[in-house]
Amino acid sequence: MVKIATGAIDGFLRKPPPDLRAVLFYGPDSGLARERLTALALTVVPSLDDPFLVAELNAESVKSDPGLLGDEAAAIAMTGGRRVVLIRDAADSLGDALLSFLDDPVGDALVLVTSGELAAKSKLRKAFEAAPCAAALPCYLDEAGGIDRLIDEGLRPMGVRIDREARHYLVDHLGSDRGVSRSEIEKLALYAGPEGHLDVDTVATLIGDSSVSTMDDVIYAMVDGESGTLDRALDLAAEEAVAPVSLLRMAGNHMLRLRRVQDLVAAGTPLPGAMAALKPPIFFKVKARFEASVKRWSPIAVGEALTLLLEAEAACKRSGAPDWVLCHRTLHQVGALARRQGGRRPGRR
């Protein structure tokens, strides 16, 4: 099947080609994969809970007995109509079984498969990308534009308004899972109420019990040079399925904000005024820690840290990159820079 451009995915999900037989949803954003799978399945069946029209197969069972997939795809529903066959959390080892099915698909069921991150050379990806009756849809982490749209979709039904600073904070701090992000936005909308209003302090307080606090713990352990705390925070981030690339991007943004304050101080602005000039503003709960970071870091070291973080973020976006290894190593390298800073004052070179 022809490769589907990012901007055409929504249309593809609403009105898939009539000859479509199978779709692979892969990538680190499991929430987005679930949303897209559900949207596509509902073009074929009225509900994923219908036992006559929806069958779910275990990936390991299909691997050991590839004929299971053909049997389910060819089965005729007792109630009539086209069926959906689901295979969740498929590993690359399932590539041969799926390739065999896609070479000569039987029946008319729509086969939907989810997987995690897959390299470009993955057998599973290649099977779906090469088959004329199939498609492979990547489900990557929300970039700023995608999260902006998600915010609008979540707040618009209740007419909730959100300040620019609050929106920036939300874009920077929402986690990597689309489902979790949508849930957090819905929580904000319910709190604000119909025609309500959200400012940055309200947003920061209400989403502080999500992965946001974990990400903040990682960032401040890094800039404070606390290696043990950083290890513990990274372990918790991994447990909460925070994406390594999100941590690196947030760390880079933090260093950019430090450099902005240092530039203002060097130009003659008092430190409190320089910090107050940041948009979005520094959340009141971490102002003291941010000020300590400004005083600890030299502008030269901030530049070195930014280079490390930006290079690591770019490397993580390459297919098949060991993203957690890169993230862990880079954040600890920045932490080592912090430990070498001593008690520098802002603006000192």
Which CATH architecture group holds 211-339?
Up-down Bundle (1.20)
Query: CA–CA separation, 201 vs 184, rounded Å?
Result: 15
In this structure, the number of other CB atoms found within 10 A of the CB of residue 200 comes to 22
**Do residues 57 and 72 make contact, with C-beta atoms less than 8 angstroms apart?**
yes
Q: Using an 8 Å Cβ cutoff, are 271 and 294 in contact?
A: yes
Residue 282 per-residue DSSP state: P
Domain spans of the chain, in order of start: 6-138, 144-206, 211-339
What is the pLDDT, as a whole number, of residue 149? 82
Would you state the pLDDT for residue 348?
Answer: 41
What pTM was computed for the model?
Answer: 0.55
349 residues of the chain, pLDDT tens digit each: 656 777 788 889 999 999 999 999 998 777 788 889 999 999 999 999 998 999 999 998 999 998 999 999 999 988 888 999 999 989 888 999 999 999 999 999 999 999 988 887 889 999 999 999 999 998 876 555 577 888 998 999 999 999 988 887 787 777 656 777 888 898 899 999 999 999 888 887 787 545 556 788 899 999 999 999 999 999 888 887 777 888 898 899 899 999 999 999 999 999 999 998 887 778 777 888 899 999 889 999 999 999 999 899 888 877 566 888 999 999 999 999 999 876 444 444 3
- State the CATH class of domain 6-138: alpha beta
In the sheet that holds 110-115, the strands lie side by side as 54-57, 84-90, 110-115, 22-26, 134-138
The CATH code belonging to domain 144-206 is 1.10.8
